[in-house]
């Protein structure tokens, strides 16, 4: 007997224990199907344990007896809880991190769902809508998410950055000794221009498209502190000082060293 991973037309993978005798294959037990790597691995491990316990198949194992026993106990303990955390295990973990940082001060469940989805399954807004529906049974309309991003910037931006700075200070012992600054460009699939979207030097090689510039300020260890958006035609070397000055005024942090991206000197 052996465990087979069988791909389905829907994109999921079924875990099946198969027996081969007289040149023929026969499915003995099916343990379900899943799409994520974690779920597939959990089902596969469950099938292996079932095969060893009920199929009488022994595996040669040269590890220490105590370690082998401990591993078996931990495996069975994990599997006993799979049914309750198989679907929302990632959500349970990330919810605690989200709250621990302090973002639960923002009374907005949509923001929570979008943040967790972005970490769990980075994808387009359209794919995010499908992901939230499939895994968390959250119904969000695509057009509503597009509008929500604008509203988030207008109403929550300051509080989000305040929480990020407070968390970074907590992690770094109350002092931000060094900050890193970098700039990237974000282009649009259109030549249409406005006060922000303008042609400029594109790091994506899209010099004919309109773009904006995004300046990001982070602490040592990569903890985000602040960001600013600039006109796409702006020379990025002149964006650093405004971002730093704005950061100092808003959070009264003056005792730190600035490390800028080498690309600023180009």
**pLDDT number for residue 10:** 82
**Given pLDDT bands bounded at 50, 70 and 90, which one contains residue 231?**
very high
Higher pLDDT, 14 or 61: 14
pLDDT of residue 75: 62
Q: Say what the pTM is.
A: 0.54
pLDDT at 58 over 50: no
Considering all CA atoms of the chain, what is the largest pairwise distance in Å, rounded to the nearest integer?
Answer: 79
Can you tell me the distance from the alpha carbon of 46 to that of 78, in angstroms, rounded to the nearest whole number?
10
Rounded Cα distance, 194 and 215, in Å: 19
Encode pLDDT of 177-227 as tens digits.
Answer: 778 888 999 998 877 889 889 988 888 888 888 999 999 888 877 888 888
Convert the pLDDT of each residue in 4-17 to its tens digit: 888 888 888 888 88
CA dist 24 and 20 (Å) reads 5
3-class state of residue 236 by DSSP? helix
Return the ∠ at Cα 193 (arms to 125 and 216), rounded to 5°: 55
Choose among 82, 96, 102: nearest CA to 34.
82
3-state secondary structure of 148: helix
Q: What is the tens place of the pLDDT at every residue in 76-135?
A: 656 555 544 445 667 778 888 999 999 999 888 888 888 888 888 888 888 888 887 777
Helices (H), 102-187: 109-120, 125-136, 142-155, 157-171
The predicted model gives 43-72 an average pLDDT of 61
User: Residue 259 pLDDT more than 70?
Assistant: no
Structure tokens at 87: 């679907």
21 three-state secondary structure: strand
Instruction: Please tell me whether residue 50 adopts helix, strand or coil conformation.
Output: helix
Asked if pLDDT for residue 37 goes beyond 80, the answer is no
Contact 181, 228 (CB under 8 A): no
End-to-end CA distance of the chain: 63
């Amino acid at each position: 007997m052996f465990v087979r991973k069988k791909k389905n037309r829907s994109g999921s993978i079924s875990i099946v224990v198969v027996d081969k005798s007289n040149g023929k294959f026969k499915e003995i037990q099916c343990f379900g199907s899943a799409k994520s790597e974690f779920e597939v691995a959990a089902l596969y491990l469950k099938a292996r344990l079932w095969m060893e316990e009920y199929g009488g198949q022994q595996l040669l194992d040269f590890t220490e007896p105590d370690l082998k026993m401990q591993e078996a106990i931990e495996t069975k303990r994990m599997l006993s809880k799979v049914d309750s955390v198989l679907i929302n295990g990632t959500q349970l973990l990330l919810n605690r991190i989200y709250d621990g940082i302090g973002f639960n001060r923002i009374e907005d469940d949509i923001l929570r769902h979008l943040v967790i989805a972005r970490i769990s399954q980075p994808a387009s807004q359209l794919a995010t809508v499908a992901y939230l529906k499939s895994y968390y049974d959250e119904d969000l309309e695509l057009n509503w998410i597009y509008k929500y991003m604008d509203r988030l910037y207008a109403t929550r931006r300051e509080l989000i950055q305040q929480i990020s700075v407070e968390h970074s200070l907590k992690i770094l012992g109350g002092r931000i000794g060094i900050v890193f600054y970098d700039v990237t460009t974000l282009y649009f699939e259109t030549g249409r221009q406005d006060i922000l979207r303008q042609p400029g030097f594109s790091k994506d090689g899209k010099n004919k498209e309109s773009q904006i510039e995004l300046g990001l300020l982070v602490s040592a260890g990569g903890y985000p502190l602040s960001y600013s958006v600039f006109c796409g035609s702006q020379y990025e070397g002149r964006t650093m000082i405004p971002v730093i000055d704005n950061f100092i005024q808003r959070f009264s942090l003056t005792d730190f060293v600035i490390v800028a991206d080498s690309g600023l000197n180009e």
